[in-house]
Amino acid sequence: MTKRFLHILSAALILILSQTSVSCGQDGKLKTGKVKLLDWKSNPCDNTYDPYKLVDRITGSRAEDGITFITVNFTENCCAEFNPEIAFKKNQLFLKPYKKYKGDYCSCDCCFSIEFKIAGLPNGEYETYFNGKKIEASSDHYPVVQPSSESYNGNTINRTNRYGFKEGMWMTFYEDGKIKTLEKYPDSELYFEPEPIWEKSLYPSGRLSDYSRNDTSETWFEDGELQAQFINYNVGDTTYRKEFTRFENRQIHKKALERHYPFIFRSEFDPEHKAEGSRRETVYEEEFFENGKLKYRFGKDTTYTWHSSGKIASREFGEQKIEYDENGMVIERAFHWKTKGPSFWGDMNNSLYANIGRNGKVLKIHFVRDEPVEGGIAPGVHYYWTWDENGKLIKAPEKWKEEFPWMKFKELTVH
C-alpha cells in the first residue's frame, strides 16, 4: 500500500466522521444533539387514585420521527400550576413540573400527569429523574407488597392484595379459638383503602356485641339488651341521623334525631344576595344524667340544660343564651347577631360573651366578629375586655375606636 493511497484513505475517513451528528466521547457513552423540551401538556386531577399513596412513575414512553414522548404520573398540591422544564446531563434526564412553585396552596393533594415532548434524546438507555428522584416505568400506581392470606375451616381469610389492601373475609379469635371479630371487605380493591362492607364483634359467649352495616350501627349488652343504635337514612335530599344510647346501668343516656339538607342562605340586609349551602338542624334531642335526671333538652323556642341536682344550668332562646350556677346566679350571657357585609360575602357574624360577677356586673367581655380586610374577609376576629371585682379595667384591645359592642344590650351592667 503506497503512501499516496494511505493519505487519500485517511482524508476520506476524516470527511465521513466530520459529517455525522453522533459520536462517542471519552466516557464511551452515546452523545446526541442538544436535548430540548419542545412542548408539554398536563391532564387535570385524576380521582381514580389515592394521591397519598401514589408512586411517581413513567406511564408512557414512545418515539416518533426522532421525538420522544414521556408521560409521568405524580402527586402534587390540588392548586398547583405547571410550567415544566428539563435537563439532560451525563446520560440522566431530569424532569420538573415547574422551576418554582406557582399557584395557591390548597388543603389537598391530587394525582396529575404531564406528557413531555422532547427532542435530542439518545436511543440508548438513560436514567430519568422527576423532581430530583429517580423514576421508572411501572403499571403499579402504589408501592407493591407481598400478598398474604390465612386459612380457616377450609376457607381463605385475612387476605391482602399486592397493594396491602384488605380483601374478602377478615377474622380475629379469642385465645380459646372462638371468633372475636368478623369483617367483610370487597373481594377486589385496587385504588383506595377499603372500608368494611359490614363488621361484627362477639362476646366470648358468642353473643353479638357490635354490628355495623350500611347506615346502621348497633351495640348490645352481654345479656342481649340494646345499648346503642345509630341509624342514617335519606328522605329525598334530606339526610337524617337517629341516635339512641344507654348507660351501663341501663338508664337512657341520649336520644336524638337531626337532619341535614341543602339550603339557600339569604342576607338579612341585601335581598339580592344568596348563597347555596347546607344546614344541619335538630328535630329532637334529650340527654340524661346517669341517675335518670334530665341534662339537656332541645326546644324550638327554648333549649335547656340542667345541673345534676336538677337546677337549671342554661337557657338558650332566640339569639341569646344565659348560664347559671348551682345557686341560680347568672354567670354568663351570650348574644349573637348579624351585620351587613360586602356584596361578595353576605352577612357578617357577631358574638359577644359576658362573664358576670356575683354583684351582677360584667367581669369579662369576649367579642368575636367577621371583619372585612383587603382582598376578602377575616372570619372570627377576637377581642377581650377584663375588669377586676372593684370595676377597674385591667385588659382591653389596643386602639379600639368604635362604640363598645356591649352598649347595645341593656341586660349587661358594665362598670
pLDDT in tens, 54-76: 999 999 999 999 899 999 999 99
Q: Give residue 33's pLDDT.
A: 58
Query: How deeply is 398 buried, as exposed, middle or buried, from its count of CB atoms within 10 A (0-12, 13-18, 19+)?
Result: exposed
Per-domain residue ranges of the chain? 19-135, 311-415
How does pLDDT run across 291-334, given as a tens digit for each residue?
Answer: 999 999 999 999 999 999 999 999 999 999 999 999 999 999 99
Compute the mean pLDDT over every residue in the chain, rounded to the nearest whole number.
Answer: 91
How does pLDDT run across 247-304, given as a tens digit for each residue?
Answer: 999 999 999 999 999 999 999 998 888 889 999 999 999 999 999 999 999 999 999 9
Q: Evaluate if pTM is beyond 0.75.
A: no
Residue 340, all three cell numbers: 351587613
Q: Count other Cβ atoms within 10 Å, centred on residue 346.
A: 20
Q: Which of 342, 402, 327 is nearest to 373 (CA)?
A: 342
The proportion of the chain whose per-residue pLDDT surpasses 90, expressed as a percent, equals 84
The residue to which cell 348563597 is assigned: 275
User: Collapsing DSSP states into helix, strand and coil, what is residue 38?
Assistant: strand
Digit-by-digit pLDDT tens for the chain (415 residues) are 443 433 433 433 333 333 333 333 333 333 445 899 999 999 999 999 999 999 999 999 999 998 999 999 999 999 999 999 999 999 999 999 999 998 889 999 999 999 999 999 988 789 999 999 999 999 999 999 999 999 999 999 999 999 999 999 999 999 999 999 999 999 999 999 999 999 999 999 999 999 999 999 999 999 999 999 999 999 999 999 999 999 999 999 999 999 999 999 999 998 888 889 999 999 999 999 999 999 999 999 999 999 999 999 999 999 999 999 999 999 999 999 999 998 889 999 999 999 999 899 999 999 999 999 988 999 999 999 999 988 899 999 998 999 999 999 999 999 7
Residue 415, all three cell numbers: 362598670
Q: What is the dihedral of CA 47, 51, 57, 62, to 10 degrees?
A: 20
Q: In DSSP terms, which residues pair with 151 in a beta bridge?
A: 156
Q: Write the DSSP symbol of residue 407.
A: G
Residue 18 contacts by C-beta under 8 Å, 6 or more apart in sequence?
none
Q: Give residue 20's pLDDT.
A: 31
Rounded to whole angstroms, the Cα distance separating 117 from 205 reads: 66
The proportion of the chain whose per-residue pLDDT surpasses 70, expressed as a percent, equals 92
Q: Which of 237, 227, 232 is nearest to 213 (CA)?
A: 232
